[in-house]
Amino acid sequence: MLKLDAVGRQFGSLWAIRDVSFTVEAGEIVGIIGPNGAGKSTLFNLIAGAVVPTTGAIRFLDRTIDYGKPYHVARCGLARTFQIPKPFKQLSVRENVMLSALRRHHTPRQANSVAMAIMEFIRIGELAEASVASLTVGQLKKLELARALATEPVLLLLDEVMAGLTPPEIKDMMTVIASLPRRGVTVVWVEHVMMAIMNVAERIVVIHQGQVIAQGKPADVSKDPAVVGAYLGEKYAYAAR
C-alpha cells in the first residue's frame, strides 16, 4: 500500500525527517508515536504529497507520489485528518460530509446518501442538521474523520484524533478505527493517547528527532529502552499488562 524509502525533509538547517523507511501493507493499522516536534506531522505532509521530500522516495499503490500535488494523491485514494479540524462553518454537519462525498459521487442525492451512511457509522447521525459552531471538541474530531472517510479512501492518515476527547469518546473512536480495515481502509495513525494506539494499532513506528528509533508490535516497542528513554518514560505501564 505504502512504501517509504530513505525519506528525508530539510527545513533550513533542520532535518525534520531523516532517512525514514517503512512499509504499510493493505489492511494494516500502523501507529506512529514520538515526542512533540519529532516530525510526525511532517511525515504525514510528505505522504499526502503536501510537502516535497529533500531525499528518498515514497510509493503509494506502487506509484511514486506526485510530490507537491496533494489533490493528485487524494484522487488515488488517500485521505487525512488534521490535528486542528477546520470544517466549513457556514454549513451543517451533513453538508460538510456531503462535500467530501462529492469527490466521487457527482449528484447531490448520491453524495447525501454516502454522507448519511458515514455519519451513522461514526455515530454522529443525530447531528446531521446541527451547525458546526455547536459541536464539542469530540464531535468536531468525529466530523473531521467523517469528512476524510466520505472521500472513500483506501489509505487514511489520522493525526491525533483522540486529543481533547473524553474517556467514553476515546473508547467510541477506538471501536471506529479498529473497524476501518474491514471496510477496506488501511490506517496510518499518529497519536499521543497511548492506551488507544497501543491497543488498536497492530504495529508501531517510533519517531524521535526525525528518525525511526524502533518499530514493531506495541508490546515489544513499549519495552524498548530507546523508546522508554525518548518518549514513553518509566511510568508507562503497558508492558506490565
- Name the site residues for ligand ADP (rule: CB under 6 A): 11, 14, 16, 34, 36-42
Backbone torsions φ then ψ of 235, nearest 5 degrees: -80, -10
Q: Which does 107 bind (CB under 5 to 8 A by kind): ligand ADP, Mg ion, none?
A: none
Diameter over CA atoms, the chain: 54
Query: Would you give the DSSP letter of residue 148?
Result: H
Rank residues 18 and 40 by Cβ distance to Mg ion and give the closer one. Answer: 40
Q: Which does 87 bind (CB under 5 to 8 A by kind): ligand ADP, Mg ion, none?
A: none
Rank residues 40 and 147 by Cβ distance to Mg ion and give the closer one. Answer: 40
- Which cell goes with 37? 516536534
Ramachandran region of residue 27, left (φ > 0), alpha (ψ -120 to 50) or beta? left
Of residues 29, 56, 51, 54, the one with CA closest to residue 40: 51
Q: Tell me how far, at minimum, the Cβ of 9 lies from ligand ADP, in Å.
A: 8
Q: Tell me how far, at minimum, the Cβ of 40 lies from Mg ion, in Å.
A: 5
The answer to whether the CB of 126 falls within 8 A of the CB of 92 is: no
Query: What sign does the dihedral 213-221-168-24 (CA atoms) show?
Result: positive
Rank residues 37 and 108 by Cβ distance to ligand ADP and give the closer one. Answer: 37
Q: Tell me how far, at minimum, the Cβ of 39 lies from Mg ion, in Å.
A: 8
Please tell me the number of Cα atoms within 13 Å of 156 on its side-chain side: 29
Total chain residues near Mg ion (CB under 5 A): 2
Rank residues 37 and 68 by Cβ distance to ligand ADP and give the closer one. Answer: 37
The answer to whether the CB of 147 falls within 8 A of the CB of 178 is: no
- DSSP SS3 for 155: strand
The pattern of x and - marking residues 122 through 161 that bind Mg ion according to CB under 5 A reads ----------------------------------------
Rank residues 41 and 186 by Cβ distance to ligand ADP and give the closer one. Answer: 41
The answer to whether the CB of 73 falls within 8 A of the CB of 60 is: yes
Instruction: Give the footprint of Mg ion on residues 2-21 (CB under 5 A).
Output: none
Instruction: Give the footprint of Mg ion on residues 26-45 (CB under 5 A).
Output: 40-41
Rank residues 16 and 165 by Cβ distance to ligand ADP and give the closer one. Answer: 16
**Burial (CB count within 10 angstroms: exposed 0-12, middle 13-18, buried 19+), residue 107:** exposed
Q: Tell me how far, at minimum, the Cβ of 49 lies from ligand ADP, in Å.
A: 15
Q: Tell me how far, at minimum, the Cβ of 31 lies from ligand ADP, in Å.
A: 13
Q: Which does 215 bind (CB under 5 to 8 A by kind): Mg ion, ligand ADP, none?
A: none
Contact residues for Mg ion, defined by CB under 5 A: 40-41
